[in-house]
Amino acid sequence: MTQVSLVPILLWVAALGCAGVAIWRGPRPIERGFVIDRLLRYLFVFALGLQGLWAFIGHVFFPEQAARAIGWADTPFQYEVGVANLGLGLASLYAAFRGFEARLAAAIAGSCFLVGAGVIHIRDIAETGNFAPGNAGPIMVTDFLTPIVILVLLFFASGKWRPKSLATLALEAELEVAQKALRNYRDALSDLGKE
């Protein structure tokens, strides 16, 4: 039962530790994008990837112990949850070393699964008073924490949050004027060809 409480915490510590080392050893000056990328990479590796594989092993190969840790009865759903965790874990490990789109896709799938699991844990606590370590412990916290942190980091990684500088706005305005002039020139040439 202790590992149900320790593994989620240790995986988060490992993610933050590896990201910290990568940032410390990374290029100087340290850029915000590099920090976000490394945080995302190691959260995908540890908090989603390895935790998904760990949950897969527990639910598929040790279903009685997993059910007991959650405070539930062992049912065939253990296998389904385990295989879902396998998919989440493998997709997350893949996304850790890929681009924004792969990370976003894995984060959306992982967020739906984890938040849904977290809601079930909270409902079970409210309805039955089930405070078993696998239901009310760190796993429930990470069911919400992991998706929230990853989605926030992906938002910042997308670049949509940054306000544009005055220089960028001026360049975009000039580009728009130039594009309009080119369209007008092309239309004028086309009209000449019709005559």
Give per-residue pLDDT as tens, 150-189.
999 999 998 766 666 778 778 888 999 999 999 998 888 8
pLDDT at 52: 97
Say which residues have a Cβ less than 8 Å from residue 92's Cβ, sequence separation at least 6. 44, 45, 48, 49, 52, 106, 110
> Are residues 172 and 112 part of one domain?
no
> Are residues 132 and 56 part of one domain?
yes
More confident residue, 194 or 58: 58
Identify the DSSP state of 137.
Answer: S
Q: Is the peptide bond before 29 cis (omega within 30 degrees of 0)?
A: yes
> Are residues 171 and 98 part of one domain?
no
Give the tokens for residue 158. 């997308």
> Are residues 129 and 114 part of one domain?
yes
Range scoring the smallest mean pLDDT among 69-78, 137-146, 159-168: 159-168
> Which of 48, 134, 60 shows the shortest CA–CA distance to 90?
48
Please count the other Cβ atoms lying within 10 Å of the Cβ belonging to residue 182.
Answer: 10
> Are residues 135 and 182 part of one domain?
no
What domain count does the chain have? 2
> Are residues 16 and 64 part of one domain?
yes
> Are residues 24 and 11 part of one domain?
yes
Q: Sign of the CA dihedral 36, 52, 11, 96?
A: negative
> Which of 79, 99, 94 shows the shortest CA–CA distance to 48?
94
